[in-house]
Amino acid sequence: MPPPFLTSKRMQTLPTESLGAYADEELIKHLPGFTNHYITVNGVQLHYAEGGSGPALICLPGWPQTWYSYHPIATQLAQRYRVILVDLRGMGSSDKPLVGYDKKTMAQDIYELTRHLGLEKVSLLGHDIGGMVASSFAFNYPEATEKLILADGAHPSEGMMQMPLLPAPGSFTEKMNGQYPYPWWMAFNQVKKLPEQLLAGRFEYLLDYLFGYVMLDERKMSAFDRALYATVYNQPGSIRASNAWYQAFDQDIADAKMYGRLTMPVLGIGSYVSYQYLQMSLPYMAEQVQVIGILDSGHYLFEEKPDRVLEAVYDFLR
């Protein structure tokens, strides 16, 4: 079982000296040509890894992963682009403050990071929660957004309010049903304090269930990756911070009502669990939309079908 961690009183950051093989300085060795960096922007310290050269591509991960979720595709992307893999506010080695988990504030974190890096215009690739933050970045900083790629995640909308409390009869089995998806953790993660008490020190049980439920081939999520994510999410501060991404949906939905449609090119990459959702939602969100389905993959597309993801990204950004 991954070791428990103490948390700092101010920001509850991970003590990297206790992470062993899962510390940023060890993980970066798996990505030749990439380097770790830490910068304070918008009042929080963010960790990011950077590699490659060319047009800038900001990569934002989702729950319950970290910057390392891009490792199946990062080195290949870095052959064509300046790739920046970011631990979002509340994730991995980035700070975990008590506030600021609405996607507009998290997008401001990323915008100020791009300013620090001297990047006037960037493309963004976001997965899951990272797609929500990438969407907010495009809405709030269109002049800084070249193109937007959303992999199984887009900006929160009022449609979330229609999610069922109970699954459709016969649809809740070992694998998520693509026609009647039942993401029960959307509700579970709304609960404050109880998830930390239930999951701290035993987060691997949730991870194993989740990967089995939303992946078609869960063998593609390696034992090392599972142990890594269990380790970094195993402490109460990390659980509290990552759940706060979900608890901010009300504010995100209110913010969405203030946005117009995006005018830059937008690509949606949907697994079998999200393809229909992206097809329906993205045309309301943007004027120039392309949606492709990788229907022989579950939610964790980078692990299950990295070559297909790379092909879609290359074609879109070319």
Is the pLDDT at 164 greater than 80? The verdict is yes
Backbone angles phi, psi at 135, to 5 degrees: -60, -45
- Specify burial of residue 172 (Cβ count, 10 A radius: 0-12, 13-18, 19+): middle
> Average of pLDDT values for 261-274?
98
**What's the chain's length in residues?**
318
Top pLDDT among 239 and 12 is at 239
Mean pLDDT value across residues 72-90: 98
Q: State the pLDDT at residue 18.
A: 74
Residue 47 is predicted with a pLDDT of: 98
The pLDDT of residue 64 is above 70: yes
**In the predicted structure, residue 8 carries a pLDDT above the cut 70:** no
State the pLDDT at residue 5: 32
Cα separation, 44 vs 109, whole angstroms: 8
> Global pTM?
0.94
Instruction: Name the residue with higher pLDDT: 94 or 164.
Output: 94
Q: What is residue 17's predicted lDDT score, i.e. its pLDDT? A: 58
Q: What integer is the mean pLDDT of 217-240?
A: 97
Does the pLDDT at position 281 exceed 80?
Answer: yes
Task: Tell me the per-residue pLDDT of 127-137, one tens digit each, with 9 for 90 and over.
Answer: 999 999 999 99
Average pLDDT over residues 186-200: 97
Mean pLDDT of 44-53: 98
Rg of the Cα trace of the chain?
A: 18
186-191 mean pLDDT? 97
Q: Which residues does 11 contact at the CB level (< 8 Å), separation at least 6?
A: 44, 45, 95, 96, 97
Of the pLDDT bands very low, low, confident and very high (cuts 50, 70, 90), residue 6 is very low
pLDDT, residue 16, reads 56
Would you list the DSSP string of the chain?
A: -PPP----TTT----GGG-GGGSHHHHGGGSTT-EEEEEEETTEEEEEEEE--SSEEEEE--TT--GGGGTTTHHHHTTTSEEEEE--TTSTTS---SS--SHHHHHHHHHHHHHHTT-SSEEEEEETHHHHHHHHHHHH-GGGEEEEEEES-----GGGGG--SSPPTT--SSS--SSS---THHHHTTS-SHHHHHHTT-HHHHHHHHHHHH-S-GGGS-HHHHHHHHHHH-SHHHHHHHHHHHHTHHHHHHHHTT---B-S-EEEEEETTTHHHHHHHHHHHBSSEEEEEETTS-S-HHHH-HHHHHHHHHHHH-
Structural domains of the chain ordered from first start: 16-317 (3.40.50.1820)
Q: How far apart are CA 267 and CA 123, in angstroms?
A: 11
Average pLDDT value for residue range 228-248: 97
Q: Does the pLDDT of residue 25 top 60, yes or no? A: yes
pLDDT tens, position by position, 107-126: 999 999 999 999 999 999 99
- Report the distance separating Cα 113 and Cα 74, nearest Å: 19
Cβ neighbours of residue 76 closer than 8 Å, sequence gap 6 or more: 306, 310
Tokens of 188: 């579970």
